[in-house]
Amino acid sequence: MVFSSATFLIVFLPLTMALYYLLGVKITKSMAVKNLILLIASLIFYAWGEPVYIILMLLSIFFNFIAGKDIEQAQRRKDKKKAKSVFIFAIIFNIGVLGFFKYANLFISTFAGITGLGLRPLNLPLPVGISFYTFQIMSYIIDLYKGNIKAQKKLFVFALYVSLFPQLIAGPIVKYKDISDQLMNRKENWASYSKGINRFIIGLSKKLILANTLGSIYASVQASGAENMSVLTAWIGIFCYTLQIYFDFSGYSDMAIGLGGVFGFEFCENFNYPYIAISITDFWRRWHMSLSSWFRDYVYIPLGGNRCKVPRVIFNLMVVWLLTGFWHGAAWNFVLWGVYYGILLILEKYILDNLVKKIPKILRWFVTMVAVMVGWVMFSAPSIGEAFRYIGVMFGRSASFADATGSFLLTTDFALLLIGFACALPVYSFLTGLLSPKKRSRLILALTPLLFVLCIIFMISETYNPFLYFRF
Amino acid sequence: MEKKKVNSKNVKRTKKSSKQDYFVYECLSALIVTVILFAVSLLSLIGKDREYSENENRYLTTKPQFSWSSLMDGKFMDDAEAYLSDQFLLRDKLVSLRTDIDVFFGKREINDVYIGKKHFLFEKPSVFNEARVKKTTDAMNNLKAKNQGINTYIAIAPNSTEILGGYLPSNAPVPNQTEQINKIYQSLSGYTPIDLCGPLKKVQDPQELYYRTDHHWTSKAVDIAYAEIARGMGLDPAAYQYQNLPVTDSFQGTLASSAGIFSAKDTISVPTCPSDVMYRVTYVDENRVTTSVFDPQKLNSKSKYEVFFGGNYSQVVIESSSSSEKVLMVVKDSYANSLIPLLIPHYKKIIIVDPRYYNDNIQNIIDTESVTDILWLYNANTFLNDTSIAAKLS
C-alpha cells in the first residue's frame, strides 16, 4: 500500500487511527495494546502490497530476533567467539537475503552477457521496502554486537520496529538505538498529533501535487528519445526530474515523519533543503540523511573513516559510494551514479577545497546544481548509454538549441516549474517570516486543509480513464 | 542594563505567546484535516455506487469480490483501489476541477490533446516516421503494380491542427501536414493524388470545418472534400444535389473525453439522400443488411459521429440503382464515413474496406468484385500511424 492511494486514505488510515486512539489510548491505556494495534496494522499494510513476500519479512524478523538474543546471551557469558560467529552469520544472512532478492537478476544477466552463456535471469520481483527494513535490522544487529544497545526481549516489539508502517517502505531508515525507547514508552499528545498531521499533508502534497505532475513532464521528454531532443527540452526534462525525485522522496519522508507523530513517534529528519547546497559534500549532508548516516556509522567509520592515510580514506570513500549507488537499485547506472559522487566528493575534499572558497556562493550553488542534475540523468536513465546520450544533448550535442517542443513545454509548464522550484527552496519559510506571527499562524489554518482537498482532487483525477471507442 | 533585561523578557514573552498562538492554529488545522479525513471515509462507505460513467464512457469498478486467490495474487487489492477511486464522491466534479486547475496554471496539453482557443481541442499530431510510412507506401505501390488497369486515387485529409492554426495554443509544436501529405503523394506511383489541404485552407471561416470536441471533420469540410474528389475522379457533382441537415447539437467527442473538458458541444449534420437512387448496405462480416448508411441510434450514445455507418467495420458493401457501371473500392479510416454517402449515386457498387479490421488480403476483393476504381481516403494522423495497410497488403 502507498500513502497516496485511495485505499490508504479512505480505509486504512482512518481505521488505524480510530482503533489506536479509541482502543489503545482511551480505553485500555496500555502500551502493549497500542503496539499490538500498530503491529497488526503494519503487517496488513505490508501484506496489502506484498501478500507473498510478507513471509520473507516475517522470517527475517524472526531470525534476527533470535540472533540478537543469542549475541546478547553469548556476550553476557563473555563468550566472544560465539557472539562474533552469530554476528557474522546474521550479517551474512541479511546481506544474502537482500543480495538474492535485489541483485540476483542483475548479476545473472550481466554474467550471461559477458560469458555468452544462455543463463536465464530469475525474474523475481523486488520485495517492496526490503532495502529499507534490512538496513534497519542491520543497525539493530550491529549496535547490539558493539554493545551500544540491549536486545529487544519481546518478539512483537521487535517486529513492530521492523515493520512500523510509516517508514517501512521508503524510509527514513530509523536506527534501533534512536527509537528503542519510543517503542516501549511514548506519549501521544496534541502537539505531536497536530504537527504530524500538518507534516503528513505537506508530504502528501509534495507527492500528489508536485512530484506526479513534474514526473509526467519528464516521462514525456524521456519518451521522445535523446536523438530528437533539443538542448532546451533536455534541460527542462531533467529539471523536472530533479524536482520530482526530491518531492517524491522527501514527500514520502514527510508523510512518514508526520504519521509517526500521529502515533506518538519522533523519527529522524531525512532531508534539509538539499537544493540549496553549495557543494556536493553539503548536498549529501542534506539529501537522504538517514541513509548517509547509516553508511557513515556502519561502513565508513568501521573501515577507519578519515582517520587514516589519504589513500586509505579515498578507498573508504569509494567503497561507501559504490555501495550507496548500488543500494539505490540493481542496475549499473546506479553504480555509475554512486561512483560519480564518490569521485566528486574526493575531488572536493582534496583538490577543490581551497580553490572553491574563493568563488562566490551563488556560483558554487549553480555548479553544484548542475552536477546534481547530471547525476540525476545517470540515476533516471534506462541504461548507461542512454544517460550519456542525454548528457550529451544537455551540453550541446543536439541538432537544435530550442525547438517547438521545448518552448511549448516552457510556456505551458512555466508556472509549475516555478512553483516547484520555489517549494524546493526555503522560499515559504522566508516569505512567512516576513508576516507577523499572528498572520503566520492564521495561514496554516487555511493552508493545510486546502492542500488536503487539493491532494484529494489530484489523487482522484489521476485515475480518470476515459474509454475511447478504439474503432476510430 | 536593567532596561535591557526587561526588554528581552518582554521579547521572550511575545515569542512564547506567538508560539502558543501558532500551536493553537496548528491544532485547529489538524482537527479540520482529521474531520475531512473521517467524513470522506464515512461518506465513501455509505454512498451509493454508480455503474456507468458518461464522461469516461465506461463501466465503473464495482465492489470487488473477495477470494483467497484474488488476495494472494494482489488482484483484490487492485480492484479495491479501483473501486474506491471510481466510486469516489463527486468524482466527475473533482476531475473537471483538476482540469480547470491545470489549465489555469497554463497547461495546454492533457492526454495528448491540445487545449486551444475558443473551446477548440486538437488531437496531438502524429509524427512522420519515415520507416513506417515507407512500409505503407511500398505496399501500396506493390498493389498498384499488380492492378495497372484500375484507376487509383488517393486523398489524405489534413487534421485540424493544419487548418485551424490560429486556434492552437501558443507555441504548440505542430508539423506541416501539407508537406507531409505531399511527401506521401510523391512516394506513390500510379496513384492520382487529390489535394485537400489547398481547398480547405482557402475556406473563409475555417472554424466550421472541424468539430471542437472531436478529432473528425464536419460536413462542411466533407462538402469541400467531396467537390475535390469528384473533380479528381471525373465525377459530376451536379448529378447529386444534397443538403446537410443537423441531427444533433450535443456532440462531445473523443477529444473532450480524453482531456476531460466538457465545456463545448458540437453539431453533427448528415446529407439528405439522393432522390432518384435506391441502395442497400451490407455489413459483410456481420452478415447484416440495411437500407441506410446512417445509424440514428448512435445519436443517443456518446460516440455520435458513429451515426455514419454505425462506426467502422471491416467490410461494407453498398449496391445502388445508379446507372453507372463502375465498381469503387474505398480503403479508408473513419474520416471517410461521412463522405462515402455522397459517392453512392456515382457507382453501381461501392466496397468499403477498413484495413484496421479487415483480416483478409485486399487483392481478393479486387479480383472477385471486378473493381474499376480504388479510392484511398484517410486523414493524415491515422495514415501516419497506420501499420495495418502494410500488414493487410502483403
Residue B129 has pLDDT above 50, yes or no: yes
- Are A93 and A235 found together in one domain? no
Cβ contact (<8 Å) for B33 and A6?
no
Task: Give the rounded distance of the alpha carbon of B308 from its chain centre.
Answer: 15
**Beta strand pairing status for B315-320 and B279-283?**
antiparallel
Please report the pLDDT score of residue A88 as a whole number.
93
Measure in Å the smallest separation between the Cα of A172 and chain B Cα atoms. 23
Confidence check: pLDDT of B234 > 70: yes
Tell me, what's the pLDDT at A349?
Answer: 86
| pLDDT band at B3; cut points 50, 70, 90 | very low
Q: Are residues A290 and A157 in the same domain?
A: no
* Predicted local confidence at residue A472, as pLDDT: 46
* Number of domains chain A contains: 2
Place of cell 580553490: A355
A242 and A127, same structural domain?
A: no
Query: Does residue A472 form part of some domain?
Result: no
Judged by CB atoms within 8 Å, which residues 420-449 of A form the interface with B? 437-438, 440-442, 444-449
Q: Which of A156, A186, A216 is the last residue of a domain?
A: A186
- Which pLDDT belongs to residue B122? 96
* Rounded percentage of chain B residues whose pLDDT exceeds 90: 64
Residue A232 lies in a domain: yes
Per-residue pLDDT of chain A (472 residues; tens, 9 = 90+): 889 999 999 999 999 999 999 988 888 888 899 999 999 999 999 999 888 889 999 999 999 999 999 999 998 888 888 889 999 999 999 999 998 888 888 888 888 778 777 777 777 788 888 999 999 999 999 999 988 899 899 999 999 999 999 988 887 999 998 999 999 888 888 889 999 999 999 999 999 999 999 999 999 898 888 888 999 999 999 999 999 999 999 999 999 999 999 999 999 999 999 999 999 999 999 999 999 999 999 999 888 888 888 889 899 999 999 999 989 988 889 999 999 999 999 998 888 877 878 889 899 999 999 999 999 999 998 889 999 999 999 998 888 888 888 999 999 999 999 999 999 999 988 888 888 888 888 888 889 999 999 999 999 998 887 776 544 4
Any domain includes A1: no
Same domain as A140, residue A101: yes
Residues B48-76: what's their mean pLDDT? 84
Report if residue A94 sits inside a domain: yes
Let me know if residue A39 belongs to a domain. yes
Among A159, A186, A213, identify where a domain stops.
A186
What pLDDT, on the 0 to 100 scale, is given for residue B9?
Answer: 53
Q: Which residue of chain B comes nearest to A441, CA vs CA?
A: B22
Q: Radius of gyration over alpha carbons of chain B, in Å?
A: 29
Residues 48-67, chain A, touching B (beta carbon < 8 A): 48-49, 51-52
B245 inside 8 A of chain A by CB: no
pLDDT over threshold 90, residue B329: yes
Question: What is each CA distance from A351 to A321, A343, A355, B209, in whole angstroms?
Answer: 18, 11, 8, 67
- Residue B246: CB atoms within 10 A of its CB come to 10
Residue A470: inside a domain: no
Backbone angles phi, psi at A313, to 5 degrees: -65, -45
pLDDT the model gives residue B84: 86
In a domain, A466, yes or no: no
At which of A186, A202, A234 does a domain end? A186
Smallest Cβ distance to B33: which of A7, A408, A452? A452
Residues A157 and A301 in one domain: no
Contact A14 B303 (CB under 8 A): no
Tell me, what amino acid is at A463? T
Q: Are residues A165 and A239 in the same domain?
A: no
Q: In which band, very low, low, confident or very high, does the pLDDT at B11 lie, cut at 50, 70 and 90?
A: low
| Pair (A203, A181) in one structural domain | no
Q: Across the interface, do B84 and A10 touch by the CB < 8 Å criterion?
A: yes
B15, B20, B26: best mutation site toward chain A, by most A Cβ within 10 Å? B26
Please report the pLDDT score of residue B1 as a whole number.
41
Average pLDDT over residues B263-290: 91
Q: What residues have CB less than 8 Å from A30, skipping those under 6 apart?
A: A24
Query: A404–B25: do the CB atoms touch at under 8 Å?
Result: no
pLDDT given for residue B14 in this prediction = 59
Whether A328 sits among the annotated catalytic residues: the reply is yes
Same structural domain, A443 and A394: yes
Q: Which of residues 298-357 of B touch A (CB under 8 A)?
A: 303, 306, 311-312, 333-334, 356-357
Residues A286 and A425 in one domain: yes
Residue A144 falls within a domain, yes or no?
yes
Q: Which residues of B touch A458 (CB under 8 A)?
A: 98
Using CA atoms, how far apart are residues A367 and B171, in angstroms rounded to an integer? 31
Structural domain containing residue A169: 6-186
Q: Do A466 and B173 touch (CB under 8 A)?
A: no
pLDDT band at B12 (very low <50, low <70, confident <90, very high): low
User: Cβ separation of B94 and A461 shorter than 8 Å?
Assistant: yes
The count of residues in chain A is 472
| Whether ipTM exceeds 0.90 | no
pLDDT at B178 over 70: yes
Q: Say whether both A136 and A122 belong to one domain.
A: yes
On average, the pLDDT of chain B sits at 90
Q: Which of A441, A451, A467 to mutate to test the interface with B (most CBs of B within 10 A)?
A: A441
The 3-state secondary structure of chain A reads: CCCCCHHHHHHHHHHHHHHHHHHHHHHHCCHHHHHHHHHHHHHHHHHHHCCCCHHHHHHHHHHHHHHHHHHHHHHHCCCHHHHHHHHHHHHHHHHHHHHHHHHHHHHHHHHHHHHCCCCCCCCCCCCCCHHHHHHHHHHHHHHHHCCCCCCCCCHHHHHHHHHCHHHHCCCCCCCHHHHHHHHHCCCCCHHHHHHHHHHHHHHHHHHHHHHHHHHHHHHHHHHCCHHHCCHHHHHHHHHHHHHHHHHHHHHHHHHHHHHHHHCCCCCCCCCCCHHHCCCHHHHHHHCCHHHHHHHHHHHHCCCCCCCCCHHHHHHHHHHHHHHHHHHCCCCHHHHHHHHHHHHHHHHHHHHHHHHHCCCCHHHHHHHHHHHHHHHHHHHHCCCHHHHHHHHHHHCCCCCCCCCHHHHHHHHHHHHHHHHHHHHHCCHHHHHHHHCCHHHHHHHHHHHHHHHHHHHHHHHHHCCCCCCCCCCC
B66, B78 Cβ separation under 8 angstroms: no
Q: How far apart are CA B209 and CA B246, in angstroms?
A: 14
Which of A84, A328, A364, A440 is catalytic? The answer is: A328
- With a cut of 80, say whether residue B19 has pLDDT above it: no
